[in-house]
Amino acid sequence: MEGQHLSTVRRGEVFGEAGAFFSEGRRTADLVSDGDCKVVLFTRAALEQMRKNHEQVYDAILQDCVRLLSDRIRSTTTALAKLAPGGVERPVRQERGGLARMWRTLVPGGPSTRCPRLVPLLRRRPTMRGVSESALRTIAGQFQERAVEQGEVICLEGETVNAAWVVAQGGIDIIRNVGGERAEYLATIPVGDLFGHNGLQSSNSTRTASCVASKPGWLYEINPAASRALDGEAWRVWNETLLHSFIEQIRRSNQALGNFVVGTREIERRAPATSEELESILNARSALAGGSLEDELAQMEFVVDDAARREAHGRKR
């Protein structure tokens, strides 16, 4: 992202976890030391050995990485909100009137088919492809079905909603507020993907983005208590899935952040209009409006450099 500073890794923090835990891990940012330091290296082979022979140590590292990435995604989306222009309206919850509620009773706006089974959806996840059927069924047993309508707000940015979801049918738009009534569309979560998993990490964590159903469909919902109730292989696989989902989320956010940074720099690189170009534009606009250059300059909503203004007025006289 052309040298854009994202964050500083401090003592005791883990970094580079994507390449260590997952074979498809691809670096999405440069890591540069700002001074002499020592790091402890965990290779993928070493972590795999820990997973087999030292499960408690592996589980502790895994849990710490999940917590760390949960915090990291918050800082990334905060940086994104400062740069994003806000291309959509900020989503809000709308209370239905009595007539609308009656109409929805007669003509439901939700999905027209039954909810797909969760186990085949979980099997799509890279972290669950080789997992035993019993572990998958244990994980699936912690979820509850939920039907959603098109445009339904699942959660709003800033709300405390302690849950995560898997998209079983339809899609979910992720939208980040950028100030005022404006927001920025970030991504659409497709079928089989997990979202909202920050809500499982803390009982009082607030949402970093709004989630809105892009079409009628089905979700599977899990709460923190159900997530913590897992143990053994099911707990390990589920937390590896959370870690993988956080990494995917950070990649999407970093890509979006990079696009906004590049766009901002392109705008900064553009040379300002010359006084001749400015006068030509204003004269053309004034002629169409039936006014004069002086009237146009007086009514402009932005400030023109004093030297350029004096030069334009001098030539006009």
The domain segmentation of the chain, as residue ranges, is 17-257, 275-316
More confident residue, 102 or 197: 197
Mean pLDDT of the chain: 75
pLDDT at 77 over 90: no
- Cα 187 to its chain centre, rounded Å, is 7
Q: Per-residue pLDDT averaged across 271-289, rounded?
A: 46
Eight-class DSSP state of 199 = G
Length of the chain: 317
| pLDDT per residue as tens digits for the range 118-177 | 999 999 998 998 899 999 999 999 999 999 999 999 999 888 888 999 999 999 999 888
Report residue 43's pLDDT band, with 50, 70 and 90 as the boundaries: confident
* Interatomic CA distance for residues 197 and 174, integer angstroms: 13
| pLDDT per residue as tens digits for the range 209-242 | 899 999 999 999 999 999 999 999 999 999 999 9
Record the tokens describing residue 87, joined without a space: 């291309």
* Interatomic CA distance for residues 215 and 117, integer angstroms: 19
Q: Tell me the Ramachandran region of residue 179: left when phi exceeds 0, alpha when psi lies from -120 to 50, beta otherwise.
A: left
Q: Are 199 and 224 in contact (CB under 8 A)?
A: yes
Please give the class, per CATH, of domain 17-257.
Answer: mainly beta
| pLDDT per residue as tens digits for the range 15-37 | 777 777 876 656 666 778 888 88
Which position has the token pair 């994507």?
Answer: 18
